[in-house]
Structure 1
């Protein structure tokens, strides 16, 4: 009787690669989207302001989108400055993660005859994917926290418009979480490969023979 195994180390590696690649692309797009924060005023409902890490945009029904880069980096709020650095680190480590795991995948004709090297490459890719995911979740969560604090600040007049969450915040959380899950799946794939490659237990080993003889001798007595 034969059983079909659907969850193999190779399938787990492909799944981890797919999830990691999706998280990397999502984080990359999130970095350059100008929709991290949005603001509209009750006094002027035809204007919507959008703020990102690199641009400030204004949307009006007559003109559409008009975006402009920030004039000075030092004039940016602290949360945007930190987010720029962390998102750049996330893009770099995410790209390195994909480059590291590609030669370590089963079925890829690279590093043939070097299973230990393939295993290390998968572990390295998983670690880099974790770093990329955390450096995506951290700035998005930090900007979300500062947005909430400023929104509920009682020192501002009620008529003054305030920044709220933009769509890029949610895509950033999704991308960072996907990178963390992808890195975890790479670790699981490595553990599955180690489990499959373990030496089979020999039924005729000296210890088994010794225990069998002792058991038979006890029965005779």
Structure 2
């Protein structure tokens, strides 16, 4: 009962994590413009893995997809690949986990087969969660490096102070910070990893129950010593004088009863 409960909870957590990393991959707010030092706050830009968008404070947005693949940064393509691999692994693991649930009867499937399928699904959930966390972390590292080394350009504020007239004559280079999609991806990857670990733990409980088989019969010698004694009653001697004789004088095996 404990193994089936852990398996069911792990499957539900894995399904939730799979949904979260899929939603994070489809979201556009991976990087969001930092408006803390922006002069105009009515317009802001944000971008994701597939689109770059412009939003307004009135709630209207306009997005433009990336029409090229070769012109994109290598890190962005690597993040795309990691997220897609994580989604595919999670989907395959979820399909296997459905058929390995102990609460579902699939013909004459034995418990040891379900335990193996549960372990396979748990490993796939683990790998999918690790891929999701790695992809989100790589993109977050890119945002941190860009934010750290971005300064105000051409006559504006600089890192050493000074500037143009009033310090506002130059144009400001926009800086980007973490978007909501990063947090959704981190939470989804962590939940997917926890679900995979619970599936692996459930496999141990299921395999221990499945290995209770009777491969042979054990023989236990009796603790009492058996003593064989001779029969004290005398047995009558065999007398073959009553056998019938054949015509040539040899004895035959026929017996006659004499009254």
Q: Normalization by structure 1: what TM-score?
A: 0.82
Stretches of structure 1 lacking an aligned partner (at least 5 in a row)? 1-6, 211-221
Asked if 1:160 is matched to 2:173, the reply is yes
The equivalences for 1:121-200 within 5 A come to: 121-153=117-149, 157=153, 159-197=172-210, 199=212
Asked if 1:21 is matched to 2:15, the reply is yes
1:79 and 1:156 map into 2 onto residues whose CA distance is: 25
Give 2:94's aligned residue: 98
Name the SS for the 1:34 alignment partner.
coil
Shift of residue 115, structure 1, vs aligned partner = 1.9
The 1:31/1:154 distance shift into structure 2, 3 A limit, reads: closer
Shift of residue 72, structure 1, vs aligned partner = 1.1
Name the SS for the 1:106 alignment partner.
coil
Name the SS for the 2:145 alignment partner.
helix
The answer on whether the counterparts of 2:14 and 2:191 sit within 8 Å (CA) in structure 1 is yes
- Report the structure number with the largest CA radius of gyration: 2
- Structure number with the higher helix fraction is 1
The answer on whether the counterparts of 1:111 and 1:117 sit within 8 Å (CA) in structure 2 is no
Give 2:111's aligned residue: 115
Paired residues in the alignment total 199
Asked if 1:72 is matched to 2:68, the reply is yes
Shift of residue 40, structure 1, vs aligned partner = 4.2
Over aligned residue pairs, what C-alpha RMSD do you find? 2.3
The 1:63/1:115 distance shift into structure 2, 3 A limit, reads: closer
Stretch moving more, 151-160 or 18-27? 151-160
The 1:9/1:156 distance shift into structure 2, 3 A limit, reads: same
Stretch moving more, 20-29 or 32-41? 32-41
Asked if 1:36 is matched to 2:30, the reply is yes
The answer on whether the counterparts of 1:144 and 1:169 sit within 8 Å (CA) in structure 2 is yes
Give 1:10's aligned residue: 4
Stretches of structure 2 lacking an aligned partner (at least 5 in a row)? 159-171, 224-259
The answer on whether the counterparts of 1:133 and 1:177 sit within 8 Å (CA) in structure 2 is yes
